[in-house]
């Protein structure tokens, strides 16, 4: 694939007025070319940054400074492309999409930027001459973990695809000083250490002191009579400053470089006269400092709602600054508000930024003096909302009293919006109080609450789920009345992941196989190409190459495990991987109970039977929310079981259990390519989509899983015969729960044996695990017990297939070659065409208008 811009002249298109031209001629003369990408220029750039940016010398030049120096030279090149892109977008003025997400789980940037800009070979040899391996320097970088899990990582995959597809897009989010906590494991328990990720600086961000906005909290609303009707002014309260930090996002093999703009809160410069007069200097400083708390810390909850005022402050701070920025950009070229939805699409990544709907409405009405109906039309045409979960504990509902205090004007407007909305409901269902109650944005009760999902649905022109089955549930089970009212509002957009990070960068061996057998590297941006691999499925040469790449990746992971956990694992064993947030619905418990059963079985076997056992390395990784007591107990159980198994010489060659601490994006990049099977075993109907399932499938790992989330669509593409599907189906869940309530569930005898061993203390003091067993016996909401025997059957099928390695490898190849649909490129095209109505805007790289 040709990669433009190895060294191209800068091209500012558009006509510059003659006076400007003269004034700027020196400027343009000095800045005509992009930085050169030959080895010498790269080396010089690195050394310059080591000296002038880091103030270090060539005598004091360690791996970390080599990483930093390299990162700054890459950043220079990103900035050039970024400026070029933004300039081009400004001139062309296409409709843009703004992706609003409280989370971006970016991971590392150096490798991604170098690969996307097509500079891998150049950097590799430039660094080699300076005495460094490029691949080693990647490891010097700290992950940017401004997200919890799937939702945040999805946002980052989407940003990569948007840039690669040349869509004019911006990501907006918050620059938390503390990202996802660092997980340690002590005595088998999770510990949490704050992640001050900026401690060694961050070459990937550009501080924009020139982009600042003021955000108001609290205060009061004053109504003023005027000739055009009543006006409402929101006044007083506290002011906080939002400062922009930009992270350039390079597309693959294109000049197009988009931006993620993250806001950081800083004290507002307003002079506090009262504090000054009161002589209370130190408390005035403290008050100012409090404003910096807003963007201090990412809430570490995945799929659960936290009703803290600070969280609502984060949400409002985020959208208030973002809308100032979007509107400023819009106003550069436009004066007619009716054009706004033709130029701006805003996507809400879950309900977290939903207050932005009301904020835009407030600005239109109070600041731009647009009439209610017209303003509401603009708002609803602009916004679209993605739902990412149907778990009730994750649905956000803010107490009315909290919003009234923090955002008084917004609460008034929400009442007004709800009033008009309920009139529509009455028209559709006259006199039906039940419908009004169930649809209302306000939930009545002891404490009135604002249902953010309802507000998001009412304020958007489109609502989508993230996998076919999830979207069906959103439409039919969670919001059936909304779907009846607005059948065309609801869509499905199945998630996707970027093949750049998850194949090309994470699995170089597999990339080479694809390049070789497909005779092209087009698959990197056109993943549909990989289906052609199926033609070679019986070619022994391919099968051998496939095996050896997997082996290499397993050895890489084994080294990592040895380094981080001190455990030696057998790389000929089957690598069985379960990595994701620790959550009851994701059922790591089902897995570890199965592991215990396997262990007990091996222990009972004769030496002859043991000879037939498939050796396994069972890998777990994932974080539990710090306040999620049950999930943390599951971590303890996994580690306690691991401790016993890993120290039992009798099972040494057959079974190892590893819990890799501090799971994050860069660790996933090592684990995913090394796995033989991956566990996607949530209770049917609970996992909205899942995205690691897609990454594993791309990397030829076979899914053992339930028909939940995107597993269903993966099964359609890959074929169920190439996976290990088991368990209750979604439509059986209610019945199974009823069976549990009626105490009609007969516990499988193998599970009883497992329970007995836990109770007898085989894995440590039984009282630690009693709450886990109790949760199963009294309720078993996630139906672990009923799925257990089916799960064991599926695991037995895994073992059987493993014994015929060539058949296994063929299935592995089929998995990889069936993954086109799960590329985030496909997902972004669908959003662009079916929700946002935007088109690609490719930055022209010809130099016909050089100055
Ligand atoms: C998560 C779902 C996952 C899904 C991701 C991305 C939330 C609220 N939801 O199944 O649990 O893959 O979103 O869509 O984090």
118-129 core/surface letters (b: 16 or more CB in 10 A; e: else): bbbebbeebbee
Supply the pLDDT for residue 27.
63
**For residue 303, which atom of ligand 1 is closest to its CA?**
8
Cβ contacts of 461 within 8 Å, gap of 6 or more: 380, 381, 383, 384, 489
Q: From atom 12 of ligand 1, which residue's Cα is the shortest distance away?
A: 690
Selected residue with higher pLDDT from 632 and 21: 632
d(CA 387, CA 489): 13
Q: Looking at the predicted structure, is the pLDDT value of residue 654 above 60? A: yes
Q: Is 495 in the pocket of ligand 1 (CB under 6 A)?
A: yes
| Per-residue pLDDT tens over the stretch 427-469 | 999 999 999 999 999 999 999 999 999 999 999 999 999 999 9
Q: Is 255 in the pocket of ligand 1 (CB under 6 A)?
A: no
The answer to whether the CB of 100 falls within 8 A of the CB of 172 is yes
| Per-residue pLDDT tens over the stretch 76-118 | 999 999 999 999 999 999 999 999 999 999 999 999 999 999 9
Strand partners, 260: 171, 247
Q: How far is the CA of 682 from the centre of ligand 1 (A)?
A: 12
Q: Is 96 helix (H, G, I), strand (E, B) or coil?
A: strand
d(CA 351, CA 56): 46
* Integer CA distances (angstroms), 539 to 519, 545, 546, in order: 16, 10, 11
Q: Note the residue count of the chain.
A: 851
Ligand 1, pocket-test mutation among 304, 347, 689, most atoms within 8 A of CB = 689
What order of strands is seen across the sheet that includes strand 490-492? Answer: 206-217, 238-250, 257-267, 169-174, 96-100, 344-349, 383-386, 462-465, 490-492
The answer to whether the CB of 583 falls within 8 A of the CB of 781 is no
What is the residue whose two structure tokens read 């400027």?
A: 27
* Integer CA distances (angstroms), 624 to 171, 383, 642, in order: 27, 32, 18
pLDDT band at 184 (very low <50, low <70, confident <90, very high): very high
Lowest average pLDDT, out of 61-70, 272-281, 368-377, goes to: 272-281
| Per-residue pLDDT tens over the stretch 394-427 | 999 999 999 999 999 999 999 999 999 999 999 9
**Six-digit token pair at 80?**
């050039």
**For residue 148, which atom of ligand 1 is closest to its CA?**
15
Q: Is 497 in the pocket of ligand 1 (CB under 6 A)?
A: no
**Six-digit token pair at 848?**
């016909």
Q: How far is the CA of 726 from the centre of ligand 1 (A)?
A: 22
Q: Is 436 in the pocket of ligand 1 (CB under 6 A)?
A: no
Looking at 354-427, which runs of residues are DSSP E strands? 383-386, 397-399
Q: How far is the CA of 688 from the centre of ligand 1 (A)?
A: 6
pLDDT mean across residues, the chain: 95
Q: How far is the CA of 559 from the centre of ligand 1 (A)?
A: 31
Supply the pLDDT for residue 272.
66
Q: Is 709 in the pocket of ligand 1 (CB under 6 A)?
A: yes
Q: Is 687 in the pocket of ligand 1 (CB under 6 A)?
A: yes
**Six-digit token pair at 704?**
């053992």
User: Looking at the annotation, which residues are catalytic?
Assistant: 388, 580-581, 586, 691, 695
Q: How many CB atoms lie within 10 A of CB 563?
A: 8
Q: Is 625 in the pocket of ligand 1 (CB under 6 A)?
A: no
Q: Is 682 in the pocket of ligand 1 (CB under 6 A)?
A: no
Rounded to the nearest 10°, the torsion over CA 558, 564, 567, 572 is -10
What is the residue whose two structure tokens read 């407007």?
A: 413
* Of 659, 654, 627, residue with least CA distance to 642: 659
Q: How far is the CA of 327 from the centre of ligand 1 (A)?
A: 30
* pLDDT over 70, % of the chain: 95
Supply the pLDDT for residue 808.
98
| Per-residue pLDDT tens over the stretch 725-753 | 999 999 999 999 999 999 999 999 999 99
Q: Is 43 in the pocket of ligand 1 (CB under 6 A)?
A: no
Q: How many CB atoms lie within 10 A of CB 663?
A: 21
* Segment 543-570 mean pLDDT: 98
Q: From atom 9 of ligand 1, which residue's Cα is the shortest distance away?
A: 388
pLDDT band at 59 (very low <50, low <70, confident <90, very high): confident
Q: What's the alpha-carbon Rg for the chain, to the nearest Å?
A: 28
HEC string of 667-704 equals HHHHHHHHCCEEEECCCCCCCCCCCHHHHHHHCCCEEE
Supply the pLDDT for residue 82.
97
pLDDT band at 847 (very low <50, low <70, confident <90, very high): very low
Selected residue with higher pLDDT from 497 and 284: 497
Q: How far is the CA of 151 from the centre of ligand 1 (A)?
A: 5
Q: Where are the alpha helices (DSSP H) in 503-587?
A: 508-518, 540-565
Q: Looking at the predicted structure, is the pLDDT value of residue 720 above 80? A: yes
* Integer CA distances (angstroms), 628 to 179, 306, 392, 578, 663, in order: 18, 12, 16, 19, 17
Q: Is 455 in the pocket of ligand 1 (CB under 6 A)?
A: no
This prediction's pTM? 0.96
d(CA 116, CA 524): 10
Cβ contacts of 777 within 8 Å, gap of 6 or more: none
Q: How far is the CA of 310 from the centre of ligand 1 (A)?
A: 23
Ligand 1, pocket-test mutation among 102, 146, 303, most atoms within 8 A of CB = 303
Ligand 1, pocket-test mutation among 103, 104, 151, most atoms within 8 A of CB = 151
The answer to whether the CB of 219 falls within 8 A of the CB of 333 is no
Q: Looking at the predicted structure, is the pLDDT value of residue 23 above 70? A: no
Ligand 1, pocket-test mutation among 146, 147, 149, most atoms within 8 A of CB = 149
Q: Is 112 in the pocket of ligand 1 (CB under 6 A)?
A: no
The answer to whether the CB of 845 falls within 8 A of the CB of 5 is yes
Lowest average pLDDT, out of 474-478, 682-686, 845-849, goes to: 845-849
Q: Looking at the predicted structure, is the pLDDT value of residue 723 above 90? A: yes
d(CA 85, CA 44): 26
* Of 89, 84, 91, 71, residue with least CA distance to 32: 84
Q: Looking at the predicted structure, is the pLDDT value of residue 790 above 60? A: yes
Q: How far is the CA of 388 from the centre of ligand 1 (A)?
A: 5
Q: Is 691 in the pocket of ligand 1 (CB under 6 A)?
A: yes
* Segment 582-604 mean pLDDT: 98
* Segment 814-838 mean pLDDT: 98
Supply the pLDDT for residue 372.
98
Supply the pLDDT for residue 10.
57
**Six-digit token pair at 263?**
């806001």
Q: From atom 13 of ligand 1, which residue's Cα is the shortest distance away?
A: 151
Terminal CA-to-CA distance of the chain, rounded, Å? Answer: 30
pLDDT band at 227 (very low <50, low <70, confident <90, very high): confident
The angle that helices 355-362 and 372-382 make with each other, rounded to 10 degrees, is 140
**For residue 150, which atom of ligand 1 is closest to its CA?**
5
Q: Looking at the predicted structure, is the pLDDT value of residue 40 above 60? A: yes
| Per-residue pLDDT tens over the stretch 614-634 | 999 999 999 999 999 999 999
Q: Looking at the predicted structure, is the pLDDT value of residue 3 above 60? A: no
Q: Looking at the predicted structure, is the pLDDT value of residue 318 above 60? A: yes
Q: Is 303 in the pocket of ligand 1 (CB under 6 A)?
A: yes
Supply the pLDDT for residue 284.
80
Q: Is 154 in the pocket of ligand 1 (CB under 6 A)?
A: yes
d(CA 812, CA 182): 33
The answer to whether the CB of 466 falls within 8 A of the CB of 688 is yes
**Six-digit token pair at 776?**
């199963």
């Amino acid at each position: 694939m040709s990669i433009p811009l190895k060294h191209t002249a800068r091209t500012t298109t558009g006509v510059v007025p003659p006076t400007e031209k003269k004034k700027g001629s020196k400027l343009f003369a000095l800045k005509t070319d992009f930085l050169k990408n030959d080895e010498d220029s790269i080396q010089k750039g690195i050394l310059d940054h080591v000296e002038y940016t880091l103030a270090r010398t060539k005598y004091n030049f360690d791996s970390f400074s080599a990483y930093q120096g390299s990162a700054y030279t890459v950043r220079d090149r990103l900035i050039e492309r970024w400026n070029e892109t933004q300039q081009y977008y400004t001139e062309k003025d296409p409709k843009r999409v703004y992706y609003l997400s409280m989370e971006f789980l970016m991971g590392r940037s150096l490798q991604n930027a170098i690969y996307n800009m097509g500079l891998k070979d150049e950097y590799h040899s430039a660094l080699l001459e300076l005495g460094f391996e490029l691949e080693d320097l990647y490891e010097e970088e700290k992950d940017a973990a401004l997200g919890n899990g799937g939702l945040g990582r999805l946002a980052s995959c989407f940003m990569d695809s948007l840039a690669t597809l040349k869509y004019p897009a911006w990501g907006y989010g918050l620059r938390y000083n503390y990202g996802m906590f660092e997980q340690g494991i002590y005595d088998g328990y999770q510990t949490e250490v704050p992640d001050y990720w900026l401690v060694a600086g961050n070459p990937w961000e550009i501080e924009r002191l020139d982009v600042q906005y003021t955000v108001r909290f609290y205060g009061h609303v004053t109504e003023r009579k005027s000739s055009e009707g009543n006006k409402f002014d929101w006044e007083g309260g506290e002011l906080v400053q939002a400062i922009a930090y930009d992270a350039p996002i390079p597309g693959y093999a294109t000049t197009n470089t988009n931006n993620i703009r993250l806001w950081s809160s800083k004290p507002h410069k307003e002079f506090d006269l009262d504090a000054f007069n009161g002589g209370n200097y130190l408390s005035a400083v403290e008050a100012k400092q409090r404003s910096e708390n807003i963007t201090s810390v990412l809430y570490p909850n995945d799929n659960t709602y936290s009703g803290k005022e600070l969280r609502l402050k984060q949400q409002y701070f985020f959208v208030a600054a973002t809308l100032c920025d979007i509107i400023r950009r819009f106003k550069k070229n436009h004066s007619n508000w009716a054009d706004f939805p033709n130029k701006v699409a805003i996507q809400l990544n879950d309900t977290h930024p939903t207050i932005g709907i009301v904020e835009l409405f407030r600005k239109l009405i109070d600041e731009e003096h647009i009439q209610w109906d017209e303003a509401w039309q603009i708002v609803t045409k602009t916004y679209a909302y993605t739902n990412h979960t149907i778990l009730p504990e994750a649905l956000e509902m803010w107490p009315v009293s909290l919003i009234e205090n923090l955002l008084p004007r917004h609460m008034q407007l929400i009442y007004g919006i709800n009033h008009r909305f309920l009139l529509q409901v009455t028209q559709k269902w006259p006199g039906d109080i039940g419908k009004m109650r169930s649809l209302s944005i306000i939930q009545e009760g002891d404490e009135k609450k604002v249902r953010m999902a309802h507000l998001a649905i009412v304020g958007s022109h489109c609502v989508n789920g993230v996998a076919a089955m999830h979207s069906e549930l959103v439409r039919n089970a969670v919001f059936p009345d909304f779907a009846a009212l607005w059948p065309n509002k609801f869509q499905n957009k199945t998630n996707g992941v970027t093949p750049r990070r998850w194949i090309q960068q994470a699995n170089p061996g597999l990339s080479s196989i694809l390049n070789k057998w497909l005779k092209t590297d087009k698959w990197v941006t056109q993943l549909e190409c990989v289906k052609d691999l199926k033609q070679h499925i019986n070619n022994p040469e391919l099968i051998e190459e496939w095996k050896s790449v997997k082996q290499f990746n397993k050895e890489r992971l084994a080294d990592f495990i040895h380094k981080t956990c001190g455990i030696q694992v057998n790389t000929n064993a089957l690598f069985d991987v379960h990595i994701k947030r620790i959550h009851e619905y994701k059922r790591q418990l089902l897995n570890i109970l199965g592991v215990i059963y396997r262990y007990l079985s091996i222990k009972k076997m004769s030496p002859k039977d043991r000879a037939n056992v498939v050796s396994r390395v069972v890998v777990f990784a994932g974080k539990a929310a710090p306040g999620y007591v049950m999930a943390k107990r599951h971590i303890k159980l996994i580690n306690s079981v691991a401790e016993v198994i890993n120290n039992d010489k009798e099972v040494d060659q057959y079974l190892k259990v590893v819990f890799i601490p501090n799971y994050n994006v860069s660790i996933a990049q090592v684990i995913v390519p090394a796995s033989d099977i991956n566990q996607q075993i949530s209770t049917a109907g609970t996992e909205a989509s899942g995205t690691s399932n897609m990454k594993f499938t791309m990397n030829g790992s076979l899914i053992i899983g339930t028909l939940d989330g995107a597993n269903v669509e993966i099964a359609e593409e890959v074929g169920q015969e190439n996976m290990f599907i088991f368990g209750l189906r979604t439509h059986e869940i209610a019945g199974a729960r009823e069976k549990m309530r009626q105490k009609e569930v007969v516990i499988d005898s193998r599970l009883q044996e497992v329970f007995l061993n836990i109770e007898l203390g085989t894995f440590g003091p039984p009282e630690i695990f009693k709450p886990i067993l109790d949760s199963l016996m009294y309720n078993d909401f996630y139906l672990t017990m009923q799925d257990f025997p089916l799960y064991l059957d599926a695991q037995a099928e895994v073992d059987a297939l493993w014994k015929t390695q060539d058949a296994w490898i063929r299935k592995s190849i089929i998995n990889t070659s069936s993954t086109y649909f799960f590329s985030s490129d496909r997902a972004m095209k669908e959003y662009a065409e079916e929700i946002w109505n935007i088109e690609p805007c490719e930055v022209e790289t010809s130099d016909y208008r050089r100055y």
